[in-house]
Amino acid sequence: MKSTLRVLLLLTLLAGALAADARALSTPFEDSDGRRTPTYDETMGWLAELADCSNQIEVRSFGFSPQGRSLPLVVVDRDGRFDADAHRGRTDHVVLLVQACIHAGESCGKDAGMLLLRDMIEKPELAADLLDRVTLLFVPIFNVDGHERFGPYNRINQNGPEEMGWRVTGQNLNLNRDYLKADTPEMLAWLRMNNEWLPDFFIDIHSTDGADYQYPVTYSLETRGNMDPGLTAWTLEYEAAMNQAMTADGDPMAPYVAFKEWHDPGSGLKTWAATPRFSQGYAAIQNRPGLLIETHMLKDYPTRVEGARRLVTHTLSWLNREAVQLRGLVLAADSATASPSFRTEPFPLSFDLTDSATTVSFDGVAYETATSEVTGGQYTRFTGEPKKMEMQFFGEHVPSVTADLPEAYIIPPEWRVAVERLEAHGVVFRRLAKPVELEIRTSIFSDAKWEERPYEGHHPVTFSSESKIETRLFPAGSVVVDMNQRAARVAAHLLEPQGPDSLVKWGYFDAVFERVEYVESYVIEEMIPKMLEDDPDLAAELAERKAADPEFAADPWAIRYWFYAQTPYYDSRVGIYPVGSLDSRGVVDGLPLE
């Protein structure tokens, strides 16, 4: 009797344990038949349960959001090597970072990742195929505060799940515009994590907005000139392999769908080189290939989750086979960027699309132009009928803005806003041990115009600039950024003023444009007669200026300031970029550095 009871008890306990495991291993997405995506707390709880089931998974935090939520980082490694240090210097193994919910309403990557993690734990043979030479870092929710602005009405264009997070952070900032300017605590935490791991490949998972078409998954890869050539060639091979694998599954994918003319499918398809405010554009300038996944928002939620899961799985499988080659190319790109030969060609900061096009076959949806009786506006109405289309594809880009990179940049220590960002991005620098007078190349800005409406909490500025050589005394503590370093592309994008995401353009140097000392009218008016008397050419110059510019001629204050500008009292620093470029290796090597 006693032993029967014991056996029964044991069986009950065993059944209980199995039930607990089964519960832990089905995801909230599955439990709701694909209708729900879990909240932050549910996600964290589920991941903790999953980690309890396996010694190959560790759930970590890479920082905290402004609202105090932990930023989750799941590390999956078959050998339990959960520290970045354990992977440094390895040549036969790669680290893949997969990120979801940077736009928290676009949650398919979170659910796809949870399914994939569970499957890899349940099926050791799958883990062997995917993780033998790959360590997986998974960020299920990057925008954690936006994610908890949870509700059914956050994505008007999107077909499910029932409720979802919000696009931007608690501070109303879009993390996928913040990569280079790094304003948000979330991004600063992400950059620390990225610097620590420097993942060899990066995937950022979104759901798109935009047109209707048949593809459940579209993607973008940086193959247009903004990444190291070796990595670009590898990425083209990867792209072909992924297209082949997704087609073999019965669901082909297409490059990110953007029409040449906004909302006009007839204008053809175009690609672009992402600027470093975007995740994959940023990865590119850190010498790491990145994949942007955009599942199609009109497809039902399970289709989107499944599409993302398949593409991440195919990528893992490819990386597992290609680990040695990719790792070699990544390390080669790092040393090529750090070598002097990197600076022999002008560095492309931004690109223009050319008019050159090919014709591609596109699995579209039939459309017509409709006119609204209410708004009076015309719009493209998709009929829902699948239609194979021949479309023009514009995919050729040429550099539109380039910079001659210096041997080093030098930044006066008071421009801490720039120095802090260099530090956040892992750009290496040293400081002057004592003051040094140096001849530098810099820029003088004019025609500055600020955007009237805020964009990402800034009023970005556009300006003209001219190169200027000057001799300047740099105080002790000035920051010297030697460009012989792997992060040279990042430094150039931050510090070259004409870069699309430069610190100047985001407004971090706005104070440079301000004139802050003034002249009283009675002071300058009484100086003017003497100035005209002392300099016989001045009257002629004034007459010329007046003739050329009637507005100036009619504005006494403009004329007074014209005279003020001829005096030594005028602020000669207005509009001059504080950052200097040093073009001589000998000078850089001779600097007294701390």
Q: Between residues 106 and 212, which has the closer beta carbon with respect to Zn ion?
A: 106
- Of the CA atoms within 13 Å of residue 323, those in its CB half-sphere come to 21
- Specify the residue, 110 or 206, whose C-beta has the smaller distance to Zn ion: 206
- By beta-carbon proximity to Zn ion, the closer residue of 176 and 223 is 176
Position with the least CB separation from Zn ion: 206
Residue 532 neighbours by CB distance under 10 Å: 14
Rounded to a whole number of angstroms, the minimum distance from the CB of residue 289 to Zn ion is 19
| Total residues interacting with Zn ion, rule: CB under 5 A | 3
Q: Which residues of 550-562 are buried (b: 16+ CB within 10 A; e: fewer)?
A: eeeeeeeeebbbb
Closest approach of Zn ion to the CB of residue 106, in Å: 5
- Residue 215 in 3-state DSSP? coil
Nearer to Zn ion, 87 or 206 (CB): 206
Q: 313-372: which residues touch Zn ion (CB under 5 A)?
A: none
Least separation, in Å, of the C-beta of 109 and Zn ion?
Answer: 10
Note whether 370 and 381 are within 8 A (CB). yes
Q: State the nearest-atom distance from the C-beta of 99 to Zn ion, in Å.
A: 11
Residue 226 CB contacts under 8 Å (≥ 6 apart), including other chains: 273, 274, 281, 284, 285, 348, 351
DSSP H helices in 123-174: 124-131, 144-147
**Cβ nearer to Zn ion, comparing 179 with 508:** 179
At its nearest, how many Å lie between Zn ion and the CB of residue 291? 14
To the nearest whole angstrom, how small is the minimum distance from the Cβ of residue 413 to Zn ion? 38
Burial class (CB in 10 A: 0-12, 13-18, 19+), 511: exposed
Cβ nearer to Zn ion, comparing 164 with 422 = 164
Q: How far is the CB of 107 from Zn ion (least distance, A)?
A: 11
Nearest approach, Cβ of 288 to Zn ion (angstroms)?
Answer: 20
Which residue number, 103 or 343, has a Cβ lying nearer to Zn ion? 103
* Positions 197 through 236 that interact with Zn ion (CB under 5 A): 206
Considering beta carbons, is residue 284 or 391 the nearer one to Zn ion?
Answer: 284
CA angle 155, 157, 159 (to 5 degrees): 85
463 CB neighbour count, 10 Å cutoff = 18
Show contacts with Zn ion in window 90-119 (CB under 5 A). 103, 106
75 bridge partner residues? 58, 137
Binding track over 505-524 against Zn ion, x by CB under 5 A: --------------------
The tokens describing 50, both together, are 């999953």
With residue 196 as reference, give the H or E element that holds it.
helix 185-197
Nearer to Zn ion, 189 or 297 (CB): 297
Cβ-count burial 411-423 (b if 16+ within 10 Å, e if not): bbeebeebbebbb
Task: Please list every residue from 367 through 396 that binds Zn ion, using CB under 5 A.
Answer: none
Task: Let me know if 41 is exposed, middle or buried by CB neighbors in 10 A (0-12, 13-18, 19+).
Answer: exposed
Is 231:295 a contact under the CB 8 Å cutoff?
no
CB 188, min distance to Zn ion, A: 21
Contacts for 557 with CB less than 8 Å, ≥ 6 apart? 521
Of the candidates 124, 105, 125, the one whose C-alpha atom is nearest the C-alpha of residue 165 is 105
Angstrom CA distances, 181 to 43, 137, 493, stand at: 29, 24, 10
Residues 123-182 within binding reach of Zn ion (CB under 5 A): none
| CB closer to Zn ion out of 101 and 504 | 101
- Compare residues 206 and 260 and give the one whose CB is closer to Zn ion: 206
Nearer of residues 205 and 269 to Zn ion, judged by Cβ:
205
Contact 193, 142 (CB under 8 A): no
Q: Which is nearer to Zn ion, 103 or 304 (CB)?
A: 103
To the nearest whole angstrom, how small is the minimum distance from the Cβ of residue 393 to Zn ion?
A: 23
Provide the mask over 34-63, with x wherever binding to Zn ion is found by CB under 5 A and - wherever it is not.
------------------------------
Closest CA to 65 of 166, 146, 5: 146
Strand order in the sheet with 479-482: 430-431, 479-482, 408-411, 580-582, 436-450, 461-474
The nearest distance, CB 41 to Zn ion, in angstroms, is 23
Helix (H) / strand (E) element for 57: namely strand 57-64
Shortest Cβ distance from residue 250 to Zn ion (Å)? Answer: 26
For residues 457 and 184, give the distance between their C-alpha atoms in angstroms, rounded to a whole number: 11
Q: Is 304 in the site for Zn ion (CB under 5 A)?
A: no
User: For 517, what's the count of Cα atoms within 13 Å in the CB-facing half-sphere?
Assistant: 10
Minimum Å distance from CB 311 to Zn ion? 15
Residues of this chain that bind Zn ion (CB under 5 A): 103, 106, 206
